[in-house]
């Protein structure tokens, strides 16, 4: 669990690269600068950990590309102390970015193996984000409503349960679509309950699947 000056230097370069690609929210950039991403990869190949690319994390899943993590985090407009529900815990990296930004994070993972591994790993790193095993399409009724909801897998449809669990005034960010490429949609639930959708361009995610995996 070492984080050397070399890692820190590579991270700073990664952050500069993401900033050059258009990310402006300094809270996002500073969170990425703090988190030792190399510890979230199965094999700690330095050259991959701090490249702006997705990387396999086992169980057929990937840790999202840092730019994508930054883009979704910026769209969420995180404020200190707000409650965020993340669907698709994966490696836990995105959850940590949101936590570093001051959010209280609740994250759901459908793959039992990943869930078990990531839950233990986040605890070891000292993060407080709460990880749950289940189908994210159902949300987390017990802890609802949420100020923000983030889906980190390609969603062919947006479950009504998630819209219901979003607070009035809240924001949900979802890569929407069932093809290879999805549209990043920001959904705002106005105080009146009215739903407004904005399209922020194309991204590519692994699919959001229904129900829990049988593993």
Binding of ligand SAH at residue 39 (CB under 6 A)?
Answer: no
Residue from 84, 87, 173, 174 binding ligand SAH (CB under 6 A): 87
d(CA 66, CA 10): 13
Residue from 41, 49, 61, 203 binding ligand SAH (CB under 6 A): 61
Binding of ligand SAH at residue 94 (CB under 6 A)?
Answer: yes
Residue whose C-alpha is closest to residue 37's, from 107, 97, 112, 93: 93
Binding of ligand SAH at residue 108 (CB under 6 A)?
Answer: yes
Determine the size of the site formed for ligand SAH (CB under 6 A).
23
d(CA 37, CA 91): 10
Q: How far is the CB of 30 from ligand SAH (least distance, A)?
A: 18
**Which one of the spans 29-37, 83-91, 181-189, 192-200 is the region binding ligand SAH (CB under 6 A)?**
83-91
Residue from 125, 144, 161, 206 binding ligand SAH (CB under 6 A): 206
**Touching ligand SAH, residues 120-159 (CB under 6 A):** 135-137, 152-153
Helices marked H in the chain: 5-20, 26-34, 46-49, 66-76, 93-100, 112-125, 160-164
Nearer to ligand SAH, 91 or 182 (CB): 91
CB 123 within 8 A of CB 143: no
Nearer to ligand SAH, 126 or 193 (CB): 126
d(CA 33, CA 31): 5
d(CA 12, CA 15): 5
Q: How far is the CB of 188 from ligand SAH (least distance, A)?
A: 22
Give backbone dihedrals phi and psi of 85, rounded to 5 degrees, phi first: -105, 125
Binding of ligand SAH at residue 88 (CB under 6 A)?
Answer: yes
Residue from 7, 11, 110, 117 binding ligand SAH (CB under 6 A): 110
- For helices 93-100 and 66-76, what crossing angle results, to 10°? 40
**Residue 134 CB coordination number (10 Å):** 15
Where do contacts with ligand SAH occur on this chain (CB under 6 A)?
61-64, 87-88, 90-91, 93-94, 108-111, 114, 135-137, 152-153, 206, 208-209
């Amino acid at each position: 669990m070492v984080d050397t000056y070399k890692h820190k230097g590579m991270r700073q370069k990664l952050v500069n690269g993401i900033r050059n690609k258009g990310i402006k929210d300094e809270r996002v950039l500073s969170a990425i600068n703090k988190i030792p991403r190399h510890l979230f990869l199965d094999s700690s190949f330095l050259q991959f950990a701090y490249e702006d690319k997705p990387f396999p994390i086992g169980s057929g899943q990937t840790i999202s590309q840092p730019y994508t993590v930054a883009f979704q985090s910026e769209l969420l407009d995180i404020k200190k102390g707000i409650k965020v529900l993340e669907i698709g815990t994966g490696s836990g990296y995105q959850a940590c970015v949101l936590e570093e930004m001051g959010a209280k994070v609740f994250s759901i993972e459908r793959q039992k193996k990943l869930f078990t591994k990531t839950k233990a790993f986040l605890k070891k790193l000292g993060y407080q984000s709460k990880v749950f095993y289940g189908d994210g399409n159902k949300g987390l009724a017990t802890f609802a409503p949420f100020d923000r909801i983030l889906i980190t897998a390609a969603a062919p449809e947006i479950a009504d349960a998630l819209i219901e669990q979003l607070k009035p005034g809240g924001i949900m960010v979802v890569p929407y679509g069932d093809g290879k490429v999805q549209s990043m949609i920001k959904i705002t639930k106005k105080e009146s309950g009215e739903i407004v959708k904005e399209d922020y361009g194309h991204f590519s995610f692994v699919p959001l699947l229904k129900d829990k995996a049988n593993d």
